[in-house]
A and B are shown apart, each in its own frame.
Chain A
Amino acid sequence: MTAVLQIIFDALSLGSLYALGALGIALIFGVMRLVNFAHGDFIAFCVFAMLWPSIDATAVVFAGMLPFYLLIPLLLIIGATLSILSEIVVFRRFRNTNPATMMIASFALGFVIRHLMLMLYSSRPKSITLWPSLGLPVDFLGAHIPMLQVVTIVITLAALAVLVLFLKRTRYGLEMRAAAENFTMARMLGVRANGVILLAFAISGMLAAAIGLILATISGTADINMGANVMLIAFIATVIGGLGSVPGAVAGGFIIGAASVIFQATLPHDARVFRDAFVYGAVIVVLLVRPQGLFAPKSAKQRV
């Protein structure tokens, strides 16, 4: 029983991370059909924003020293700013190009950001200690659950609740959903394209900052590559969930998180190193069964 509970919490917390990432990608994809490969580098950038630029092995913690009620908003603002800037400087000029060109442009942008960070901070991972008390386990029905997992899950659920309220209850949310469904039609009905797109980028940037904070707390290190893995899984999760569907992206994130944890727990010992191969294999199988994703929006159907 306790083992099962442990697996459930592992799956939920890993799934939360992927879900937050998938959400950041799905929002932008919804409004401008861009798969933002720079998202992972946004995540890493937000983590490194807590450190003072230096190439020494020991990190000089700078903004990371702030108390949490200042640090969290600061990082969210940094994430949103970076994301909005990238829209204004780069992606705005790619609105009408084909998806492959946009994808490569976003990859090139991520490449620039990553190497900028490499120049400022060197490639060595740096240790960074945020809120060590979160690492302590709490007892929950006999299982030892790290406090951090609980916090991650709670934060994700809270973020999702806020986002759902925003999307369903406010005018901007309505505009964004309309734009995700059919951008041209939404514009014709009076939705301001630039406003909606900037908003999507801002939210996506904040989600990147949130993932960065959680990752830095979990691993205790700041690594240039830390965002890339989450970004890739999140990208796959959005496709599994159904591209263009926001709830689908979240579900996809949780499904992949659960699949990873379950494979890790149930595969025989020798096969455990091949866990990722099983996960990717499962992804291909799911796509073969439902190529349009598990929760594809009706508008995604191809018309002739």
Chain B
Amino acid sequence: MPKRPSVIRQTMLTPIVLIVVLLVMAALSYQFGSRAFNRTAVEMFINIMVVVGLYVFVGNSGLLSFGHISFMCLGAYMTAWLAIPPVMKSMTLKGLPTWLLHTQLPMWVATPISGVFAALFALVVGRVIMRLSGIAASIATFGLLGVINNVYSNWDSVTGGQGSIVGIPPTMNVWIGWLGAAVAIAIAYLYAISRSGLALRATRDESVAASASGIDIVRERLVAFVVSAFIIGIAGALYAHFLSIVNPGAFYLRTTFITLSMLVVGGMYSLSGAVTGVVTISVLIELFRNLEKGISLGAIKVALPNGVQEIAIGIITIVILMYLPTGLTRNQEFSWRGWPMLRRLSRPVRTAMKELN
């Protein structure tokens, strides 16, 4: 029998294609886009990080999580604590410990620290929550979101309460956004082909058979939870640098559901799906935003009334899911073995190849 090619060789193309496509988008936006368009592009890259982070947990474990945006909140606030100039911090955030009040870290240091902070938090709460399965786990993650939001909205001396904290250096641009998205995709890909990722997908598809084969479900879920929290924590940190203000309302239900919608629209069990979902919805939002501003057709200027954008996005989401319930990518990854070769293979082999992805 010929030696089986390694998993990396077979699946390497997926992250490379995704990262290169995003690089092209970043370059085009940098070259031709206006300032406002570039901001939209950065926002898209941050959303890609969040949704890819969600995919690491949701896609591999099959558990729907409503709580991951709380890691974005943790990352963003950590960055705010670390990166705001001490003069401003000592006026607005009096409750911070003294050593934190006197430090100011550059973005390159503050961002990974924020990611690690979110991951450590996930390690602690995950040990408890990951014991649950199915809808109970989803609700428990929802409870986590509720707790974090409530604490960050009301612990005035440390988080500034409901209001916004200002003064984070706005150092984001399209290239850093792209870099963040590329790192997120690379981590997600490496996790997915790792031993733990394979084991977790086995528990997703057949939990009883998987645990009978000696897989510790709680442990593998916890690993995915921590990895995804790290990615989303970094996304939160970059988001703080992007807006230069943070407030707890930005990390609550609206963001939770919009990111989940992006994941499901793309295809929640595939990395390509996560990225496709974000890009599709972001492009649609930008398109309708421009239509609302108005386009001139010859002499007449046509503009949609305000508010049509959200309604159209909602309807399009429903229609996509109606016809493609498993998402735009049908839960498959982009790969070169895709079309020409698969056609020639018999059906069971094709199914087996798909499973490998």
Contacts and interface: CB of A to CB of B under 8 A. Distances in A.
Interface of A: 35, 37, 90, 93-94, 97-101, 103-105, 107-109, 111-112, 115-116, 118-119, 228, 232, 235-236, 239, 243, 273-277, 279-281, 283-284, 287-288, 291-293, 304
B154 A112 contact: no
A107 B64 CA distance: 14
Interface string B164-186: 00000000000000000000000
B264 A104 contact: yes
A262 B180 CA distance: 45
A100 B64 contact: yes
Interface string B246-258: 0000000100010
A90 B313 CA distance: 15
Given A107-B261, A287-B139, A288-B131, A112 B253 contact: no
22 contacts: A97-B325, A99-B64, A100-B64, A101-B325, A105-B322, A108-B315, A111-B314, A112-B315, A115-B310, A118-B307, A118-B310, A239-B136, A274-B151, A277-B151, A280-B143, A280-B147, A283-B140, A284-B129, A284-B140, A284-B144, A291-B134, A304-B208
A18 to B, nearest CB: 15
Contacts of B136: 239, 287, 291-293
Interface residues of B, number: 42
B135 interface: yes
A284 B321 CA distance: 31
B305 A287 contact: no
B64 A103 contact: yes
Contacts of A118: 307, 310
Contacts, number: 122
A98 B307 CA distance: 30
B143 A284 contact: yes
B38 interface: no
Contact of B325 (A90, A94, A281): A94
Contacts of B147: 276-277, 280-281
Given A104-B317, A291-B132, A119 B146 contact: no
Contacts of A243: 135
A22 B128 CA distance: 26
Contact of A288 (B128, B261, B264, B317): B128
Interface string B105-129: 0000000000000000000000011
B311 A108 contact: no
Contact of A100 (B143, B253, B264): B264
